[in-house]
Structure formats: C-alpha cells, structure tokens
Structure 1
Amino acid sequence: MNQIDQKTLVIFQPRFEKPTVLPFVKEGISAGFPSPADDFLDLSIDLNQELIKHPSTTFYGRVRGDSMINAGLNDGDLLIIDKSLEPTNRKIAVCFVDGEFTVKRIAIEKDKIWLIAENKKYSPILVTEDNDFIIWGIVTTVIKNVS
C-alpha cells in the first residue's frame, strides 16, 4: 500500500495558564526489588516544564492508525510535536501531505524526501513536486496508556 494510512491527527496546542505540579520520585522507581519511595514524595514535577522546551511552537497530536507501531507509536498515543526543530534524516515527523496530517520517519536524500512507515504493511512514500507537502513538526515525546 502506498497511501497515507492515518486518519487526520487531532492537533492542539497545550495551555500553560498555571503549572500542574505533581509528586515526583526523584530517585527513580525500581523495576526489580521494591524501594522505599515514600521518602521522596515531597518533591514535585511539572510535566509541561519537563517535556516541552519551546512552548510557543509545541503542539500535541494523537496517533491514528498503525503505520508506526514498530517505532512504539500506537493508535491513541499522544505525541508532543515541536515545530521549531530542524527536520533531519531519520527523525519522526508530523507531515502535512495533500490535505492530511500523517506521522512518519523522514528519510532525506540529496533531492528527495521519503516518508517511511514503521510497519511492513505500508510502503515508503516518495514526496514529489505534485504533493502539497510540509514537514509540520518533529515528534519529541510519545505518551501512552499502559492499562
């Protein structure tokens, strides 16, 4: 299949009206033996400050579809997208192609741009002059539900 597989990504910009500060276990949480984490709950973290480096150029988007599952991006995952970052080879980018948003790994050659899915069901897409195309932003973080 050589098509944009995503439904339109829902894109929205975060609001920073007031910080959301939550308890934080600074020492890390052991995935092996239990640790006495209660001693560290006095610390706090604001995820906006932790995950968003350029608030005026940062947006959220929700993944729709399965073309990026082998990169760890699953249907319903929340992406943090920074429009100020330089699109470089092998980055995961949100692109606007012929009226639709899609998320793909970009492959930049001398005079060609390829959009590469991370699922063997989908063929790479060569961007041509005939496409209405822009690399809209670079994915910096993926937030996923695990339950």
Structure 2
Amino acid sequence: MALYHLSPSPHTVRLPLYLERVSAGFPSPAADYIDNAIDLVKHLIPHPSSTYVLRVSGDSMRDAAIVNGSLLLVDASLRARHGDIVVARLRGDFTVKRLRLVPTPQLCPENPAYAPIPLSDEEDVHIVGVVTTVIHTPSRNG
C-alpha cells in the first residue's frame, strides 16, 4: 500500500448544525433550530498534511463499528496511546486494530473470532497512524 498525501483544498463545505440532538432511543419532538454551520473538513481533519483515508477490508473490527467497506480517516501525526485504534504495518502487511499496552503490548481485534496479536521487540511492527474517524454509509437495501 502506498500512502499519498494530498494538498488541502482551499474550498470549505459548511453544513447546517442543528441545536437539537436526534434520539437513538425513543422518538422526541423534532426542533427546527439551527445552531450554527459546521465545516466538516475542518472538524474531522485537524491535521490535513498528515491525514489520509483507507478503505477497510474484513470484519476483525466489526464490534468497534468498523466494517468491510468503511472508510477510515487516519492521522499519522498523532502518537498512539493505549486504547487507540491504529493502523499498523506488521510483517509487511497493514492492519487496523486496537492498541493495548497493558498488561502486555498487543494489537487487538474487535471481533471474538480473531485472536490478539502479541507485540514484542523482535516483531517487525510500525504504527503508521491513529484512526480518528470512521465513515460508514448505512445500507439503503432492506
């Protein structure tokens, strides 16, 4: 996989940001109050020169709402911390997993069908970025 960094676009897209939240439980009365506008690019990509997009293949992170076909915004400028979801190069291949540093360092899937990957000093592993946003379009079929 080759990583290409794109120049930030001078264009912005501002969308209405509604004051009211939408209920994911019981319905609530809708309000038509617009609080402000939000620039999604500025909001989702604070470090454009170090951010890239990857498309996910597979289901090892499904319980973290990262599914086959999801798009990931990955920031290479962030230092990975315990509990972050990261993109790592492992033995020449790339993978997305949750980084666990205690009790022992490992890359953990979010699907019980997969085993954690223990990390050691002998292992050829390199964290290439921290996942900052997951973009998943819900299916309209069904």
Q: Secondary structure at the match of 2:115?
A: coil
Q: Percent identity of the aligned residues?
A: 38
* Number of residues of Structure 1 aligned to a counterpart in Structure 2: 136
- Does residue 1:36 correspond to 2:31, yes or no? yes
1:99-138 maps to which residues of 2 (within 5 A)?
A: 99-109=92-102, 113-138=105-130
Q: Secondary structure at the match of 1:24?
A: strand
Shift of 1:129: 4.4
| Larger relative contact order, structure 1 or 2 (CA cutoff 8 Å, min sep 6) | 1
Deviations 1:99-135 (A, max 9, x none): 221100112248x531111111111112344543210
1:66 is matched with: 59
Give the unaligned 5+ runs of structure 1: 1-7
Shift of 1:68: 0.6
> Cα RMSD over matched residues?
2.5
Contact 2:55–2:71 (CA under 8 A) maintained in structure 1: yes
- What is the TM-score of this pair, normalised by structure 2? 0.80
Equivalent AA in structure 2 for residue 126 of structure 1 = P
User: Relative to structure 1, is the Cα distance of residues 144 and 11 closer, same or farther in structure 2, using a 3 angstrom cutoff?
Assistant: farther
- What is the TM-score of this pair, normalised by structure 1? 0.77
1:144 is matched with: 136
Aligned partners of 1:11, 1:78: CA distance in 2, in Å?
15
